[in-house]
Structure formats: structure tokens, C-alpha cells
Amino acid sequence: MKLFVCWVLTSVVCLAVLRKMWSSRYLRSHLSRSLYMNMMNHNQALYWEGNHQWYLCDTEKLSEALRPMFVQSYLDHGTQTFLNRSIEKSGWLSIQLYHSFMSSVFSMFMSRTSINGLLGRGSMFVFSPEQFQRLLKIGPDWKSHRLLDLGAGDGEVTRVMSPHFEEIYVTEMSQTMIWQLQKKKYRVLNIDEWQNTGFQYDVISCLNLLDRCHQPVTLLKEMRRVLEPTRGRVILALVLPFHPYVENGGKWEKPSEAMEVNGTVWEEQVNSLADVFQNTGFVVEAVTRLPYLCEGDMYNDYYVLDDAVFVLRPV
């Protein structure tokens, strides 16, 4: 038994060190001063160009109603801080090794989300405080009463919005994420409780949840019902292209309720989503394109998905 554990540990370590050596960071620090200088500069250029691409939208392809609602975002200080921190963290070899080992053990019976919640890793980034304020057209001192963050994950994205609210309610499906949220002192509601509290919310955030839950259309209708009907706003993020699936333990399932999103490119799917929102009682007040960032592991500095972020007003 001891021998077996030793063997597993040694092979994990060897594998990790090998991969690490071949990662760009190794090349960056050891070879860039000589042979690879040119290649490095080239990569650096690509890197920045890539960042620019994250925010691009062909407004010609947006429907006429949406075109004036498009907000151009860019890589700001808050986003760069998250990226820097993420790059730094992925370089901590011993912690990354520990995470990698624990993940492979737990992944036999737990969802990826719950493992991240348990290990307190893989935090996400959707928008900086400045980007959030610009989308909602509010100042840094703007205050409101109640925020409801549906599918809040570990609460790191909630934290960006929290200074603007007196009471912060959250929901989560994953038990380990609920522990993280309770540790951060948010008021955790059950996933069938937030609709029936008897009060209304001033802002409801639904970030990267519609493609990960069983009943996205029902969820939209319920949000409409409990949102403050005049000044209330929904801030909604969705990864495009739209690929709905639901995590269940370590498995993936198809959602029980279909939400139809037409089109192939980002702009077409955004147009189609505006129709879905219209049918559930909302109109798009602002829309932007942002990278949905996730902290990296020992193989990557960070991960990027393509988000569409909407501000919805009830009609």
C-alpha cells in the first residue's frame, strides 16, 4: 500500500515537472534571452492582439434595435489585475500539484464545480467594478437595496457588485460552493426559495447560469416576476456559442427545458437572445462582449470563454 502511494505520487510529480518544463514559462525564463528572442516577441504581439479580439463586435451584424445598445469594452486595470494574479498563481508548482492530485481523486464522484468549491480554486472573472458600473449606467457611489445573484459560484463575481447593495442574496446548486458563499457572509437562499420570499429585488444577476441549469426559460420568467418592476434590472451573462448542459455529480446531462438560440456567429446569437428575452418580458438596455476568465492550473495561466453580457429592463 505504501509503495503504491509512493509510486502514484512520484509519477504525478514527474509528469507535472515534465509538462512544466515544456510550458512557455520555462522557455520564457530560460531561453528567451538567446535563440528564442524573435519568437518570443512574435508571441507577445499575438498575445495582445488576442486580448483585443476578446472585445470585438461587428455591429453591422447586430439587429437595428440592438446596435445603439452595444457598449464597447476593453481590457481595463481590473481585468489585467485578475490576469496577473492568475498567471502568478499558476506558477506555484506545489499548490498546483496538490490541486491536480486532489481533482483526479474527487472527479470520480464529484462535479468539477464542486471540486473547485472544495479546494477554493478556479475563481472566475466576468467584469471589473468599472465595467459593471458602465453597463448599468451608475456611478461608483450608487447604492440600492437588494441584489440577488443566481448561481453565484464561489462569490468572487458577487464581490464586484456587492459594494452597491445593502442586502445580498445568492443561490447555488453545489454544496461546496454554498460553503464558500456562507464563509463570505452572503445570504444563501434555496433554489426554490428566492421566488417566494415575498419581496422584490432591485438587481438580479444571472451570470453564466442559463446554459448550466435545467429550466432556463422558466428561470427568466421567474426573474421577471420578482424583479422590481420599474427601476429593477437584470444583468445576464451567457457564454457563446450557446452549448447548454447541466453538471450532475461527475456527469453531464442535457437540460430538461429547451431554450432556442439561432445563428452561428456571436452577433447572430445575440440577436436571437434578444428575442428570447422579449418573449419572457424583458428588453435589452445594454449589451457588451467580454472575456469570461477562469484562473489557470499547472498547464495554463488562465482560461478564456466568450461572453455576451446584457442589461435587461422589465417591460
Ligand X SMILES: *[C@@H]1O[C@H](CO)[C@@H](O)[C@H](O)[C@H]1NC(C)=O
Q: Which of 44, 53, 84, 104 binds ligand X (CB under 6 A)?
A: 84
| Dihedral of alpha carbons 276, 279, 282, 284, sign | positive
Q: Which is nearer to ligand SAM, 123 or 269 (CB)?
A: 123
Alpha-carbon distances of 251 from 69, 215, 245, rounded to whole Å: 38, 18, 10
Sheet architecture: strand order including 203-207: 124-125, 282-295, 302-314, 233-239, 203-207, 144-150, 165-171, 187-189
SS3 201: strand
How far apart, in whole angstroms, are the C-alpha atoms of residue 1 and residue 12?
17
Q: Which is nearer to ligand SAM, 130 or 247 (CB)?
A: 247
CB 201 within 8 A of CB 146: yes
Q: Which of 57, 160, 161, 177 binds ligand SAM (CB under 6 A)?
A: 177
Q: Does 77 participate in binding ligand X (rule CB under 6 A)?
A: yes
> Residue 290 Cβ, how far from ligand SAM at the closest point, in Å?
11
Among 4-12, 55-63, 77-85, 96-104, the segment contacting ligand X (CB under 6 A): 77-85
How many residues sit close enough to ligand X to count as binding (CB under 6 A)? 9
Q: Which of 200, 215, 272, 278 binds ligand X (CB under 6 A)?
A: 272
Q: Which is nearer to ligand SAM, 83 or 126 (CB)?
A: 126
C-alpha cell of residue 306: 466568450
Question: Within 273-292, which residues bind ligand X (CB under 6 A)?
Answer: 275-276
How many residues sit close enough to ligand SAM to count as binding (CB under 6 A)? 19
Q: Which is nearer to ligand SAM, 25 or 159 (CB)?
A: 159
The closest alpha carbon to 72, from 58, 87, 93, belongs to: 58
Q: Which is nearer to ligand X, 84 or 196 (CB)?
A: 84
Q: Does 81 participate in binding ligand X (rule CB under 6 A)?
A: yes
How far apart, in whole angstroms, are the C-alpha atoms of residue 127 and residue 135?
10
How far apart, in whole angstroms, are the C-alpha atoms of residue 177 and residue 53?
32
- Total residue count of the chain as it appears in this document: 315
> Residue 156 Cβ, how far from ligand SAM at the closest point, in Å?
7
Question: Within 234-263, which residues bind ligand X (CB under 6 A)?
Answer: 260, 262
182 contact choice in ligand X, ligand SAM, none (CB below 5 to 8 Å, kind-dependent):
none
Under DSSP, the state recorded for 296 is: -
C-alpha Rg value of the chain to the nearest Å: 21
Q: Does 41 participate in binding ligand X (rule CB under 6 A)?
A: no
How far apart, in whole angstroms, are the C-alpha atoms of residue 212 and residue 243?
9
Element (H, E) at 37: helix 37-53
Residues in contact with ligand X by the rule CB under 6 A: 77, 80-81, 84, 260, 262, 272, 275-276
Which parts of this chain interact with ligand SAM (CB under 6 A)? 113, 124, 126, 150-153, 157, 171-174, 177, 191, 207-209, 212-213
